[in-house]
Amino acid sequence: MIDGGADPRYLARRIVRMAWEDIGLADPRAFQIANDAATTFERLGSPEGELALAQAVLYLASAAKSNAGYNAYNQMRAFVRENASDEVPVHLRNAPTKLMKELGYGRGYRYAHDEPHAYAAGETYMPDGLDEPEFYQPVPRGLEIKIGEKLAWLKSLDDEALK
């Protein structure tokens, strides 16, 4: 592409985008490598900086791939467009004044760090009447294997708490 006249800065932008969109959390190192390659190109310019871009491409080509985060982001955006911005549940609202405390703001709030496993099992953060969406579906590749296992474990804690 460089020999064909493509601007290396455009390539750097596409490389960074590829790391976030096509590799995602399956290999979070890809983000850093892509950003570092773009920064290196900006510092060195052509032709030396092109080596950083080439090595980033090699890394991304061999990295585990997942667009689960990208898909989750798009689903979340569509959800917000369809559901607008509903009221924050009263138990999650900050209560800096006496009136707000009297109105129940923050009553029953569970601080996750004070809970077992630093997780408020069974807690909901959605507005009243909306179910917890499951936008993010990790793929069974790379780091997302571990993320999927963690999410399944947290769901089991939620299920147990709701019994």
125-142 average pLDDT score: 92
The pLDDT confidence band at residue 2, using thresholds 50, 70 and 90, is: confident
Helices first, then strands: H and E counts in the chain: 6, 0
- What does the angle CA 82 – CA 87 – CA 90 come to, to the nearest 5 degrees? 145
CB-CB contact of 19 with 34 (8 Å): yes
- Token pair 């809970």 in the structure block, residue: 115
Using one digit for the tens of pLDDT, what is the confidence trace for 32-69? 999 999 999 999 999 999 999 999 999 999 999 999 99
Q: Taking 90 as the threshold, does the pLDDT of residue 92 lie above it?
A: yes
CA distance 25 to 143: 6
The pLDDT confidence band at residue 1, using thresholds 50, 70 and 90, is: confident
Measure CA 97 to chain center: 34
Q: Which residues have a Cβ under 8 Å from the Cβ of 1 and sit 6 or more positions away?
A: 11
Phi, psi of 129 (to 5 degrees): 90, -5
The span from the first CA to the last CA of the chain, in angstroms, equals 58
The pLDDT confidence band at residue 123, using thresholds 50, 70 and 90, is: very high
Q: Taking 90 as the threshold, does the pLDDT of residue 84 lie above it?
A: no
Dig out the tokens for 45 from the structure. Answer: 């310019």
The predicted pLDDT at position 136 comes to 96
The predicted pLDDT at position 156 comes to 97
The predicted pLDDT at position 70 comes to 96
CA distance 55 to 62: 11
Q: Taking 90 as the threshold, does the pLDDT of residue 5 lie above it?
A: no
The predicted pLDDT at position 135 comes to 96
DSSP string, 93-105: S---SHHHHHTTT
Q: Which residues of 40-60 are buried (b: 16+ CB within 10 A; e: fewer)?
A: bbeeeeeeebbebbeebbebb
Q: Taking 90 as the threshold, does the pLDDT of residue 86 lie above it?
A: no
